[in-house]
Structure 1
Amino acid sequence: MARELKVHNNLTRKKEVFQTIEPGKVKFYSCGPTTYDFLHIGNARALVVGDLFNRVLKAFGYDVTFVRNYTDVDDKIIDRAKELKRDPIEHAALFVKECETDMNSLGMMPATHTPKVTETMPEIIKMIEDIIKNGSGYVVEGGEVLFNVPSFAEYGKLSKKDLESLQHGIRVDVDSRKKNPSDFVLWKPAKAGEPAWDSPWGKGRPGWHIECSAMAKKFLGPTLDLHHGGVDLMFPHHENEIAQSEAANKCPFCNNWAHNEFLNFGTEKMSKSLGNVIKIRDFVEKYGGQVLRHILLSVHYRARLEWSDEVLQRALDEVKRIHEFALEAKTYTSAANPSADGTISETIEKMMEELSNDFNSAGALGHFFSFIRYVKANKDKLSAENIVQVNNTIKFVEEALGLINKDPQAVIDALHKHDQDTSSTGVDAAWIEGLIEERKAAKAAKNWARADEIRKELTQKSIELKDNPDGSTSWKVQS
């Protein structure tokens, strides 16, 4: 029997006992990446949180069917492919592989299914047909299909937004073909040079929102137990998913909704549009994926994560400490007269209590550090049973949180290399990278004075900056 846990359900804005449609089984969908560019560490937060949910549910005894999609048809993909003079479908396929590389570097467990929009077109078209048949969709001139938002009486039940206020709040020129200003696109007519598929309304491609509804239904059925994504997706994406899914299927779409908060850099959300991003690939190359995963799970998923040099340095220290302990534990032998108390045997239960409280990874990690301190202080007093409990606890952290790599020595070696690289230059690489990212954010905000101050500060430390054509900034120590 699966262990009980409580989840903050954004549908009710309450922490509730997690109940599934079928006892012991979880139908779980998490919104995956749009494959138009390399992922940044803000994207990584949603990915790692989804992975955390999957791991914890499995550790609690649930049979989880976990679906995380790839959006490989989208305006961003088309625009980027045009810039690069590349076929949009080929461009998206390339970045599906790049995303997989990044996710593997973060120690993520494979999802049960990873559907792509391009592979789900029949299901998307069928769902749109059902929406039209049930009176919530309509076709306008040119073969565009729109969702009639006021036809869905419960619109706004997730975001708690009032439809009338939304209608009045739309200030841009509204398409005259729309019945209501808030109506959104289900199917777009084809444009020259863009990917298109045959449909009852002519050649075209789906709108963004309908894609996730169809992919979720294909693998999980009409009603889900848990749906996850970043808080920025709550409205309009998740709100529209609910409306179109329930209009098509005539039943509830999802019973529990969980959203992770932003990763902030300074006062701003990390995003490509602001230019204040750190790519997962670049971070992992310098510090390792284990460090990034540790940072992302060191705070509760519903709390904002403020990126700073101090956060990075603490993670470097803690990851090293954890993996050195995992190696040391392999050398423990039982004492002739063991005298360690019950603290060791209680740790997994304490961690599970934290994780059962809305996936509190930070609380669980706190108990693990207390455990490390106690075990190291009493390593000469351990019984054979204690040593088994130590190994079981390490295995639990590895499997339920992914915070211990299966090869601890490889992590330690990578951290040691980083320390050597830092000491060989005589400067703190993390501090330099932090200032470079702050300078990017300042330039994006047109705060030229601050950007110049940062360059001068680094120049005084004999650090030379080079702004590259692709928008990145590299640095070197002046000889």
Structure 2
Amino acid sequence: MEILVFNNLTRSKEVFKPIDSNQVKFYSCGPTTYNFLHVGNARALVVGDLFHRTMKTLGYNVKFVRNYTDVDDKILEAARQRGIHPKQHADEFIRECNTDMECLGMLPATVTPTVSETMPEIIQMIEDLIKNGYAYTVAKDGGQEVLYNVPKFKDYGKLSKVHLESLQHGIRVETDGHKKHPSDFVLWKPAKPEEGWSWDSPWGKGRPGWHIECSAMAKKHLGKTIDLHHGGVDLLFPHHENEIAQSEAANGCPFCNNWAHNEFLNFGSEKMSKSLGNVVTIRKFTETYSGAILRHILLSVHYRSKLEWTEDSITRAIGEIERIHEFVIHLFGEHKKGTTPASEVEKVKKAHEDIKREMANDFNVPGAMGVFFGLIKDYNRMAKDGYSDDYAFELTEVVNFMKAATGLIHDYPEEILRQLNMARKALSGTTGAGEAEIEELLVQRKEARTAKDWTKSDEIRNRLNELGVVVKDNPDGTYTWSYK
């Protein structure tokens, strides 16, 4: 199916046309592995996974490259404080990042390169930039520093849409007297003895600047020109602008045809960042509430819209996930057979096509979920009188598509419902009683009700209420329970 993507290069929604009809070349900027990731980082990771999933589900062959930045000032400093080699520190947090991504239900990327393993390609690209007249060397810190000559690249600013003179410098861009222009940025920096990690190069021992890594990794694994580049909107300038300048000056051709950026996740009115102190790590959140809830929250609004994190976000996600997975359990379980009008079956088929169109329309998960919840409402109405196998088949096709394209439907729905129950407990602040104690009280209550000992039954219900547990008695004599 044809996909529409909002291309930040043109600031318009365009038909996505891969260079090679047999393969989409997709690059997404990955994390810097110096510490545990926070839920703001999770949004970029999940959105990249969404693009990957949706394109695959709609029939595209995708080569997806997401890097790890394992060479960085913060990594060097963290390793120095721990008294270990920087690579050991970075590798440890790559493993932690992989654990977090698995918990978020992410598909593996096709390739996950690191900066440290791409050093020959980085050095070669810097050499090409010097040879082509876009980079120069200066003496610094007892060695040689290589800088990119920004004014030399006439198209600088074509992504961020501002003139060179008015660009605001990112915090990683130094401005001092040894540069030809204040916007010139570092491609290679000389090694300092205390940093503990460096590479040989034509300019002496050192390590790369921040921006050159992605240009080199994208070229190595995807070629000189790629189809789609993704990252958070905070990377649009200077990082992505500098990637374009580097790659096009080194390679002599366009770098990327489509640029997609996800908006920030905000707590109230402030962007989530470690500098603001309002940080919740992915690990802490998922251990308390589950990866399913975090993924649902992150995809609850369109990726190009700011996501305002409020106290109601978790509660709302729990209710929606519960509705989805109770529906899946009922659909795939035993159901009452009946005759379904052909119009209802056709309605499901049309909804399936509508969902596909929403997902193909710039990865519009909220639009697709709106159609899907409408199907669940119809199903709950139909299930009372029973339904036909062809109706169940068409619904199953929708479920399988939504599961593959969004990752919001999970393999073990009963386990998801259990996680939701525990999330409610954490959200309510209920402490003391565990599941085993509650189940034992429920067995005693059922025995009391069978023996018509209503006094004891009420006493147990009151005790459960004190523990923050709500019991629902079903017409068939069974019961369900949840934390308040």
Normalising by structure 2, report the TM-score.
0.85
Say if 1:167 and 1:10 are closer, same or farther in 2 by CA, change over 3 A.
Answer: closer
Whole-angstrom CA distance in 1 between matches of 2:169 and 2:288? 49
Secondary structure of the residue aligned to 1:187 is: strand
Q: Write out per-residue CA displacement over residues 10-66 of structure 1, whole angstroms, 9 at most, x where no aligned residue.
A: 000011111111124210000000000001100000000000000010111111000
Determine if contact 2:288/2:426 at 8 Å carries over to the other structure.
no
Q: Write out per-residue CA displacement over residues 439-472 of structure 1, whole angstroms, 9 at most, x where no aligned residue.
A: xxxxxxxxxxxxxxxxxxxxxxxxxxxxxxxxxx
The aligned counterpart of 1:133 is: 131
Single out whichever of 391-400 and 195-204 deviates more from structure 2: 391-400
Whole-angstrom CA distance in 1 between matches of 2:428 and 2:2? 48
Residue 181 in structure 1 maps to residue 182 in structure 2: yes
Single out whichever of 391-400 and 229-238 deviates more from structure 2: 391-400
Determine if contact 1:230/1:259 at 8 Å carries over to the other structure.
yes
The aligned counterpart of 1:398 is: 403
Q: Which of residues 411, 423, 427 is equivalent to 2:416?
A: 411
Deviation at 1:346, TM superposition (A): 1.8
Whole-angstrom CA distance in 1 between matches of 2:170 and 2:352? 50
Q: Which of residues 103, 106, 113 is equivalent to 1:105?
A: 103
Whole-angstrom CA distance in 2 between matches of 1:244 and 1:127? 8
Equivalent residues in 2 for 1:60-459 (5 A)? 60-141=58-139, 142-166=143-167, 174-194=175-195, 195-333=197-335, 335-339=337-341, 341=344, 342-379=346-383, 380-420=385-425, 425=430
Q: Write out per-residue CA displacement over residues 194-219 of structure 1, whole angstroms, 9 at most, x where no aligned residue.
A: 21000011000000100000011110
Say if 1:364 and 1:415 are closer, same or farther in 2 by CA, change over 3 A.
Answer: same
Determine if contact 1:354/1:364 at 8 Å carries over to the other structure.
yes
Secondary structure of the residue aligned to 1:146 is: strand
Runs of 5+ in structure 2 lacking a partner? Answer: 433-484
Letter in 1 for 2:127: E
Q: Over the residues paired in the alignment, what is the CA RMSD in angstroms?
A: 1.9
Whole-angstrom CA distance in 1 between matches of 2:262 and 2:220? 25
Whole-angstrom CA distance in 1 between matches of 2:76 and 2:416? 38
Single out whichever of 377-386 and 49-58 deviates more from structure 2: 377-386
Letter in 2 for 1:291: I
Determine if contact 1:345/1:386 at 8 Å carries over to the other structure.
no
Say if 1:332 and 1:386 are closer, same or farther in 2 by CA, change over 3 A.
Answer: farther
Say if 1:358 and 1:168 are closer, same or farther in 2 by CA, change over 3 A.
Answer: closer
Letter in 2 for 1:401: T
Say if 1:423 and 1:176 are closer, same or farther in 2 by CA, change over 3 A.
Answer: closer
Letter in 2 for 1:186: L
Say if 1:423 and 1:244 are closer, same or farther in 2 by CA, change over 3 A.
Answer: closer
Deviation at 1:410, TM superposition (A): 1.1
Whole-angstrom CA distance in 2 between matches of 1:309 and 1:259? 26
Single out whichever of 41-50 and 327-336 deviates more from structure 2: 327-336
The aligned counterpart of 1:459 is: none
Say if 1:233 and 1:409 are closer, same or farther in 2 by CA, change over 3 A.
Answer: same
Whole-angstrom CA distance in 2 between matches of 1:317 and 1:26? 36
Determine if contact 1:52/1:400 at 8 Å carries over to the other structure.
yes
Single out whichever of 307-316 and 342-351 deviates more from structure 2: 342-351
Determine if contact 1:33/1:70 at 8 Å carries over to the other structure.
yes
Determine if contact 2:266/2:307 at 8 Å carries over to the other structure.
yes
Q: Count matched residues.
A: 424
Whole-angstrom CA distance in 2 between matches of 1:40 and 1:163? 33
Deviation at 1:88, TM superposition (A): 1.4
Deviation at 1:347, TM superposition (A): 2.1
Letter in 1 for 2:26: F
Whole-angstrom CA distance in 1 between matches of 2:121 and 2:99? 28
Q: Write out per-residue CA displacement over residues 393-429 of structure 1, whole angstroms, 9 at most, x where no aligned residue.
A: 11111111000111111111111223345567279xx
Normalising by structure 1, report the TM-score.
0.85
Determine if contact 1:334/1:384 at 8 Å carries over to the other structure.
no
Whole-angstrom CA distance in 2 between matches of 1:271 and 1:166? 22
Letter in 2 for 1:131: L
Runs of 5+ in structure 1 lacking a partner? Answer: 428-479
- Give 1 or 2 for the bigger CA radius of gyration: 2
Secondary structure of the residue aligned to 1:70 is: coil
